[in-house]
């Protein structure tokens, strides 16, 4: 795919997706969302890629949806009684769903403003490393809009209900350090060090056991909505997929040899089934 509104590169077992509409503070468009979806699918399916970084070009991470087009929905939705619903479902909602189902670690390197849908995008990643000059919040209601990209679901889960409601109803935007105190940001670093910090995290994640890491991530997301008995049953079943892999033997051997483990994510299963 030829990318026009993002930059996409893969190197050293990590993929980096850069939102590239700096003149609009990386406000997302349908074109941009489809390009991100395509890049994420490529990173997901590439076994050499073990972590993904999402960031923005210029001064902004993502300022939410591009409202300069005055809600001129694509022709395939226009005039339909459900046009806004269909547009959201096929675009930003599809992106939020993909990120939440993505089984490799994702890092949002928040280089500038992440507001409204941009904050939702950052919160849909596993980790958020923010520049000390970044700002995060929800400005939807300034435009008489609502946190419809997924913010109404995510904001209370990170902030607590009353603080999430306050952020949205008062259209509050927080500097990076305050956002960290509130729970919106994982780590804050000087702006000049942001991408190095994100790549360092991605490298450490890429060094981990890929299968166990994917399973552990999925377990934590799934078990957020489970009761204890369900969670323990889920964990027990997950051991059947992980505990007998070669990486477990490698991790144990490396520990005893006092060396760094070399995890491969390979399976014990033969390349072909006996009847093939």
Its domain, for residue 22, covers: 6-206
Which alpha helices (H) appear in 124-227, and where do they start and end?
151-159, 161-169, 176-182, 194-206, 210-223
Final residue before a domain boundary, out of 154, 174, 206: 206
Give the containing element (helix H, strand E) for 11: strand 6-11
- Flag whether 1 is in a domain: no
Which mean pLDDT values do the consecutive 10-residue runs of the chain (276 residues) have?
A: 94 97 94 96 95 97 84 62 76 94 96 97 98 97 92 96 97 98 98 97 94 91 92 91 85 89 78 56
Alpha-carbon gap, residue 221 to 157, rounded angstroms: 12
Residues in the chain: 276
- Flag whether 138 is in a domain: yes
Residue 249 has, within 13 A of its CA and on its CB side, a CA count of 6
pLDDT per position as a tens digit, 80-102: 667 777 777 889 999 999 999 99
Say how many domains are in the chain.
Answer: 2
CATH number of the structural domain spanning residue 240: 1.10.12.10
Alpha-carbon gap, residue 29 to 74, rounded angstroms: 11
How many Cβ atoms sit within 10 Å of the Cβ of residue 187? 15
pLDDT per position as a tens digit, 162-190: 999 999 999 999 999 999 999 999 999 99
Are 120 and 137 in the same domain? yes
Are 147 and 256 in the same domain? no
Are 54 and 159 in the same domain? yes
Q: Which of 31, 88, 22 is nearest to 57 (CA)?
A: 22
Considering the chain, what percentage of its residues have pLDDT values greater than 90?
A: 71
Average pLDDT taken over every residue of the chain: 91
């Amino acid at each position: 795919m030829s990318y026009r509104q993002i930059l996409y590169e893969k190197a050293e077992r990590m993929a980096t997706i850069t939102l590239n509409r700096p003149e609009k503070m990386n406000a997302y468009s349908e074109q941009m969302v489809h390009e991100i979806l395509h890049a994420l699918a490529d990173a997901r399916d590439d076994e050499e890629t073990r972590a993904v970084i999402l960031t923005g070009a210029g001064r902004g991470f993502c300022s939410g949806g591009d409202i300069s087009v005055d809600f001129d929905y694509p022709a395939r939705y226009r005039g339909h009684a459900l046009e806004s619903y269909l547009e959201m479902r096929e675009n930003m909602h599809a992106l939020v769903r993909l990120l939440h189902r993505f089984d490799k670690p994702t890092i949002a390197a928040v280089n500038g403003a992440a507001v409204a849908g941009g904050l939702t995008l950052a919160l849909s990643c596993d980790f958020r490393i923010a520049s000390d000059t970044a700002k995060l919040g929800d400005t939807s209601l300034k435009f008489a809009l609502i946190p419809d990209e997924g913010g109404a679901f995510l904001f209370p889960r990170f902030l607590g209900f009353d603080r999430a409601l306050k952020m949205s109803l008062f259209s509050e935007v927080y500097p990076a350090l305050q956002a960290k105190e509130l729970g919106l940001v994982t780590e804050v670093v000087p702006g000049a060090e942001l991408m190095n910090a994100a790549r360092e995290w991605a490298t450490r994640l890429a060094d981990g056991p890929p299968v166990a890491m994917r399973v552990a991530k999925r377990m934590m997301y799934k078990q957020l909505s489970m009761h204890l008995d369900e969670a323990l049953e889920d964990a027990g079943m997950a051991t059947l997929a992980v505990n007998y892999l070669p990486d477990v033997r490698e991790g144990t051997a490396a520990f005893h040899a006092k060396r760094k483990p070399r995890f491969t994510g390979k399976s014990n299963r033969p390349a072909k089934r006996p009847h093939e």
